[in-house]
Amino acid sequence: METKLFCQSCTMPLDSDAVKGTEKNGSKSSEYCMYCYENGVLKNPDMTLDQMEDIIKTQMQKMNLPENLVNMSLNMLPTLKRWKKI
């Protein structure tokens, strides 16, 4: 099954409640993962897009994910809600 939801900060697939961040009321977020979002706020609000790119690249390479998947995630970042220019 193809994942349709991705964290709008880091591109992590939101394919289960276990990886979803939480809203202020404790419910699961449908937009952000647990690494980026907790209690209704971004965990690192001052993080830059460049910093996020470095984190994603490092973490995905540690997981030995294919380079094309790493590049796809990096290319997707600027289009996400958190990073999209208004």
69 within a domain of the structure (yes/no):
yes
Task: Say yes or no to pLDDT of 73 above 90.
Answer: yes
Q: Give me the DSSP letters along 27-71.
A: PEEEEEETTTEETTEESSTT--HHHHHHHHHHHHHHTT--HHHHH
pLDDT digits 0-9 by tens, 2-25: 558 999 999 999 999 999 999 999
Which residues span the domain enclosing 73? 17-79
5 within a domain of the structure (yes/no):
no
6 within a domain of the structure (yes/no):
no
4 within a domain of the structure (yes/no):
no
7 within a domain of the structure (yes/no):
no
Q: pLDDT value at position 1?
A: 42
Domain count, the chain: 1
